[in-house]
Structure 1
Amino acid sequence: MIITNYFKKFFQIAQSSGNLLIICVILSLMIANSSLGSSFQELLDYQLGSYSISLWINDGLMTIFFLLVGLEIKREILEGELSSFKNATLPIFAALGGMLVPAAIFYFFNQGSKYENGWGIPMATDIAFSLAIISMLGKRVPVSVKIFLTALAIVDDLGAIVVIAIFYTEKLETNYLLLCGLVMLILVALNFFKVKRHIFYLIPGVFLWYFMHHSGIHATIAGVLLAFTIPTNDSDTEISPLEKLEEKLHTPVNYFIMPIFALANTNIKFHDGMVDGLFTNFGYGIILGLVLGKVIGINLFSFIAIKLNLSDLPNNSKWSQMIGAGLLAGIGFTMSIFIALLSYKNDIEIQDEAKFAILVASALSGFMGYFLLKAISDKYDSLEHD
């Protein structure tokens, strides 16, 4: 099996930017709980044109991140790690389990209460943080497992976006959805006629983002849809438009967009009673949903798919590494916070409780996943040297 150089470069860059990402998380928490907290929040709420700075970051800059990841996934499906049908189907089954089981756990604890509408909170995986942490492990983890987690996180977040559109969107704007469809037809036509210049895709992509944002569906999905229309080529010697765009996006995404995103979205102010809130049915639903529900759902559905001969385990991987990847998928963070805000629009106190529980669950999942994968690698390294 040949792992493409582009995916290797993607994870090498993510590894080197991982420390910067974590620093931004810590810095954001410190600012939010200092005398600068109010000023920082006012900055995020400041209107820049039609939207706040916070929205430009979450719906604008992160669309570029989704564009990059979409490009990576498309190329791997066409010519790389996910080109095998069984390898490609595994992340889909895994993501399905990783959404259903956490939602069921949350609903079990909170059915019939004022919190039950938040069942979608533990369903999501934060792509930026999960990939940053697994990339920090370097060669300790097979690239195939990293690619599996990437594909899983993409499918997972797309699933979360569908859930938001159906269950957490008050109104879908049909006219804007039709305009999204029209732009997609234009992009597909450009691909069909082998138009190679990026500008002819990026300009319609801006309109796609605008229409998607106003349709009621989360705007970042526009980045993934745009990525799927960027053309490749049949030649191994000539670099394709898709690969050229990847090269251009790696540095700004990993060293600017992801750190800015972390800085803006870890802006959680602690107050009395938040720790007590972790030991309630609401806290249990979020924490157990993300920490246990994710790893159980992902590995259970993966096991079933493999036993039914519908999928294959990632190359050179072990089930213990799949458990580690499942733990990292429990880093819900951004999309989980977003769903929490939608679930409890009129109750700031519940929103803060949810944010804190998400932060704790994501930290637990991240630490457990990192140290499990590191321990597995160290164990096999010592066996090889004996």
Structure 2
Amino acid sequence: MSVPVVIDRSPDPERPQAERAHEPSIASWVRSMGATRTGALLLVASTLVAIVWANAWHEGYEAFWDTHLSVGVADLSLEFTLHALVNDALMAIFFFTVGLEVRREFTIGELTSWSRAMVPVAAALCGLVVPTVLYLLVARGSGWESAWGVVISTDTAFLVGGLALVGPRAAGRLRTFLLALAVVDDIGALSIIALVYTEQFTPLPLLVAAVGMVGIWFTRYVPTGRGPIYATLAIVVWLAFLASGVHPTLAGVVVALLVPVYRPTRQDVEHALALARTFRQSPTTEYARAAANSLRESISINERLQSAYAPYVSFVILPVFALANAGVQVSGDVLAAAATSPVAWGVVVALVVGKLVGVLGSTTLVRRLGLGELGPGLTTSRLAGGAALCGVGFTLSLFIIDLAIDDPAVQNEARVGVLVASVLAFALATAIFRATERTSRGAEVGQVLQRPVDPARDHVYGPPDAPLTLVEYGDFQCGFCLKTAGTIQEVVGELGGRLRYVWRHAPLVRYHPNAVAAAEASEAAALQGRFFEFERALFVDQEHQQPADILRRAEELGLDMARFERDLTSSAVAARVRDDMLDAEAMDITAVPTLFINGRRHTGPHDARSLLLALEAAGEAARAATAATAQSAPSAQPSGG
């Protein structure tokens, strides 16, 4: 393997003097951060409106949600109250989006690798069990021990929105961990709803549901017009679940788990690009439709549906659900009853204490036993804040209250408990995160390499045991990284076997739309032992990194093309690039190239002479530290006698 040889191309003087990493576009930022915050705030606002409405005009509140609706034709009709329509129909759409997320995470997301999934899975399971045990202990003798399901679930919408509101800076890895945990938590909660809180069960309609589910599975093979088929069969499955006595919201989960999810193939992307170029040359309606259809079909229907339904779930369905279910009377009598209610106290203790102890305790144990993988940046204090935030069990807790408790007075007590627990959990998480941030301000954030170099994982050029280490976080399309690559070639030539050079990914997604694809392609080449050769090919021609260009380079390098194309769409390759990006975020890396010399961030110029001086200084410091350790070692030995 040879050191990467690159063309020394100076950056355009008209370009900005720094390119920033991990800065999404305005639209992307609104979707990811603004949308989650807005959704969480809408949920809070709807809750407050429901409480005010229920207390200012309780009869009107009850009468409105008890409004009867009839849907059907002739003798075939369904009778619903408005409250039931929200809880049975609208919430089925919410659970459908949850199911889509579950399917995606287990197929191409965080839960595809056992080592990666072990920690959030253990945390989620303990986050289900510990609150249940605490609730049963506190509510013992109340007669409502069967309502333990109220405390099992974490509200995913509040979890993500709360993290966006009060979480730490650079919370990407914590957010990924909590989302994976929430997915497993949702699976557990939905399973408990199906197994424990289904009262009247009629098996025959489930045969109709099974036929509908088989139809949904095979719809993926229909060449066009799949949307109406999916919609029709989903309604059939939902009606069959309703008729069977199994809560119809679970139909949303079942349907979602049957919807296919996959990463876009290079052939599909290339075909879409070819049609787009054809439309550019001949802008006709026919070519526009063909290009649009090809672009849409290159993305899995799972991800398209998530994008389509997410705004409606966040901005309509969940706020309406809160409006329909959070109308707790907070009169003196209700509050007095809740203050002495074992059910209310069981809910508060289970959610606030149980979630914190269950999630944080299991995570700490798994980490110490070395059973799972936790990346850099997931400190104990940050995990504690995330565990506290898991105590916000709003949506599913209110949902299960209606299933588990049939006494209106006890329902009110339980709802008070859920609201109090959610407020306390959010306040506790806020306090932990604020204390963590104050502590980290005095620390050397980003000055120390958080993930040690691992020859088994990293792309290392040079002797693995070399005394000097240079780690670069870079982007294959960045002109500054290209110039630095030529400089590093000089440094490697000067230091020879005394230096090991390590490349890690920090693609500038805002400036370089192909940067992530290039990084993933280099990882696919690395699986065939050709990382640095592929790196060189990417740097030599930064302007051409379209899918066809990437495949052409792989073929020119003599790679096994079938394996290369298969690896390009694998979850392992995507996770490897994402890990580097999350590491970079955790170290507050906002510009590339960013260099670390012997584990310390380099802040000086990147020319060859400056790097050589910095490396030699680091080597001297390492030798001095070794000598000091050797001199102090004999004095630390116990004397014999």
One-letter code of the match for 1:43? F
> Runs of 5+ in structure 1 lacking a partner?
none
In 2, distance between residues paired with 1:259 and 1:182?
34
Q: Is residue 168–residue 433 contact of structure 2 (8 Å, CA) maintained in 1? A: no
> Aligned pair 1:269/2:298, yes or no?
no
One-letter code of the match for 1:149? L
Q: Is residue 198–residue 241 contact of structure 1 (8 Å, CA) maintained in 2? A: no
TM-superposed deviation, 1:196: 7.4
In 2, distance between residues paired with 1:196 and 1:376?
52
By relative contact order (CA 8 Å, sep 6+), the higher-ranking structure is 1
Once the two structures are overlaid, the 10-residue window that deviates more, 350-359 or 104-113, is: 104-113
Distance 1:181 1:284, change over 3 A: same
Match of 2:196 among 167, 172, 176: 167
In 1, distance between residues paired with 2:206 and 2:366?
34
Q: Report the counterpart of residue 47 of structure 2 in structure 1.
A: 25
Distance 1:226 1:137, change over 3 A: farther
> Aligned pair 1:241/2:301, yes or no?
yes
In 1, distance between residues paired with 2:227 and 2:41?
32
> Runs of 5+ in structure 2 lacking a partner?
1-21, 71-78, 270-297, 448-641
TM-superposed deviation, 1:74: 3.1
Distance 1:139 1:65, change over 3 A: farther
Residues 195-247 of structure 1 deviation map (CA, whole Å, 9 limit, x = unaligned): 77333222211222222233333322322322222233441533332232222
Q: Is residue 287–residue 358 contact of structure 1 (8 Å, CA) maintained in 2? A: yes
Match of 1:231 among 254, 260, 274: 260
Q: State the secondary structure of the residue aligned to 1:48.
A: strand
Residues 248-282 of structure 1 deviation map (CA, whole Å, 9 limit, x = unaligned): 22322222222222222211112333333334433
One-letter code of the match for 1:383? A
TM-superposed deviation, 1:138: 6.7
Distance 1:371 1:65, change over 3 A: farther
Distance 1:58 1:112, change over 3 A: same
> Aligned pair 1:359/2:389, yes or no?
no
Match of 2:174 among 145, 153, 174: 145
In 2, distance between residues paired with 1:361 and 1:315?
31
Q: Report the counterpart of residue 281 of structure 1 in structure 2.
A: 342
Q: Is residue 16–residue 136 contact of structure 1 (8 Å, CA) maintained in 2? A: no
Match of 2:67 among 29, 33, 46: 46
Once the two structures are overlaid, the 10-residue window that deviates more, 156-165 or 282-291, is: 156-165
In 2, distance between residues paired with 1:231 and 1:219?
22
One-letter code of the match for 2:41? N
* Matched ranges for 1:1-386 at <5 A: 9-35=31-57, 37-49=58-70, 50-137=79-166, 140=169, 142-191=171-220, 197-233=226-262, 234-235=264-265, 237=269, 238-276=298-336, 277-313=338-374, 316-345=377-406, 347-384=407-444
In 2, distance between residues paired with 1:169 and 1:17?
30
Count how many residue pairs are aligned between Structure 1 and Structure 2. 383
In 1, distance between residues paired with 2:141 and 2:221?
51
Q: State the secondary structure of the residue aligned to 1:169.
A: coil
Percent identity between matched residues is 30
In 2, distance between residues paired with 1:42 and 1:98?
37
Q: Is residue 194–residue 250 contact of structure 2 (8 Å, CA) maintained in 1? A: no
In 2, distance between residues paired with 1:77 and 1:341?
30
User: TM-score normalized by structure 1?
Assistant: 0.87
Distance 1:161 1:65, change over 3 A: closer
Pick the structure with more strand per residue. Answer: 2
In 2, distance between residues paired with 1:200 and 1:11?
34
Distance 1:243 1:354, change over 3 A: closer
Distance 1:183 1:308, change over 3 A: farther
One-letter code of the match for 2:305? L
Once the two structures are overlaid, the 10-residue window that deviates more, 282-291 or 64-73, is: 64-73
Q: Is residue 183–residue 204 contact of structure 1 (8 Å, CA) maintained in 2? A: yes
Q: State the secondary structure of the residue aligned to 1:273.
A: helix
In 2, distance between residues paired with 1:215 and 1:149?
34
Distance 1:134 1:217, change over 3 A: farther
In 2, distance between residues paired with 1:134 and 1:177?
39
Once the two structures are overlaid, the 10-residue window that deviates more, 164-173 or 188-197, is: 188-197
Q: State the secondary structure of the residue aligned to 2:332.
A: coil
One-letter code of the match for 1:316? G
Distance 1:222 1:137, change over 3 A: farther
Q: Is residue 100–residue 306 contact of structure 2 (8 Å, CA) maintained in 1? A: yes
Q: Is residue 172–residue 215 contact of structure 1 (8 Å, CA) maintained in 2? A: yes
Q: Is residue 205–residue 226 contact of structure 1 (8 Å, CA) maintained in 2? A: yes
In 1, distance between residues paired with 2:178 and 2:315?
21
- RMSD value over aligned CA atoms? 3.0
In 1, distance between residues paired with 2:252 and 2:437?
35
Q: Is residue 167–residue 433 contact of structure 2 (8 Å, CA) maintained in 1? A: no
Residues 122-160 of structure 1 deviation map (CA, whole Å, 9 limit, x = unaligned): 112222322222232477252232233233233323322
Q: State the secondary structure of the residue aligned to 1:87.
A: helix
Q: State the secondary structure of the residue aligned to 2:56.
A: coil
Q: Is residue 167–residue 430 contact of structure 2 (8 Å, CA) maintained in 1? A: no
Q: State the secondary structure of the residue aligned to 1:51.
A: strand
Residues 275-297 of structure 1 deviation map (CA, whole Å, 9 limit, x = unaligned): 33334433332111110011111
One-letter code of the match for 1:222? A
Larger radius of gyration: 2
One-letter code of the match for 1:132? G
In 1, distance between residues paired with 2:101 and 2:149?
27
Q: Is residue 70–residue 227 contact of structure 1 (8 Å, CA) maintained in 2? A: yes
Distance 1:363 1:306, change over 3 A: same
TM-superposed deviation, 1:373: 2.6
One-letter code of the match for 2:94? F
Distance 1:95 1:33, change over 3 A: same
Once the two structures are overlaid, the 10-residue window that deviates more, 225-234 or 56-65, is: 225-234
Q: Is residue 385–residue 433 contact of structure 2 (8 Å, CA) maintained in 1? A: yes
